[in-house]
Amino acid sequence: MPRSVELWVGKNDDAIAPPRVRARVFEDCEGRCHRCGRLIGPADHWTLEHLIALINGGKNAEANMCLTCDWCLPVKNAEDAAIKSHGTKVRYRNLGIRQPSRLRSAGFPKAPKPHTATSPIVRKSDRQPHRSR
């Protein structure tokens, strides 16, 4: 049977999903977190998340949304940031773009010259025999 309601697609990446879309996604996910599978109760906090994050090329559409409980949200955000970071590093490396060095100091100070003895050092083998009187 075809879907009676069209899937919601945001006009831009900043568009917030309306309450009717949040309710449909909640029902489609059967009220469970997509990461841990935990059943989300009425007192639990949850977030409407993108399966593929917007920073990683995901779409702001109902088909790309799911539920994430507050326990799994920090982990998902960290994973999305790691994927973005890795993708950027690979793309820059393939394009030959190098980031400037972060080292901005003058370097280590020069080592002081070693102290010398006031009289030259003479080896025992180079000494002249002691004269006796």
State the DSSP H helix or E strand holding residue 65, giving kind and residue range, or none if neither: strand 65-69
CB 61 within 8 Å of CB 13: no
CATH number of 19-95: 3.40.1800.10
Domain boundaries, the chain: 19-95
Looking at residue 74, what is its pLDDT? 93
DSSP 28: H
In angstroms, the CA 131 to CA 1 distance is 121
- pTM of this prediction? 0.63
CB 66 within 8 Å of CB 25: yes
What's the pLDDT tens digit per position in 101-110? 777 777 788 8
Looking at residue 66, what is its pLDDT? 94
In angstroms, the CA 122 to CA 93 distance is 59
Q: pLDDT band at 30, cuts 50/70/90?
A: very high
CB 70 within 8 Å of CB 56: no
Looking at residue 65, what is its pLDDT? 94
What's the pLDDT tens digit per position in 53-97? 998 889 999 999 999 999 999 999 999 999 998 888 888 888 888
CB 92 within 8 Å of CB 100: no
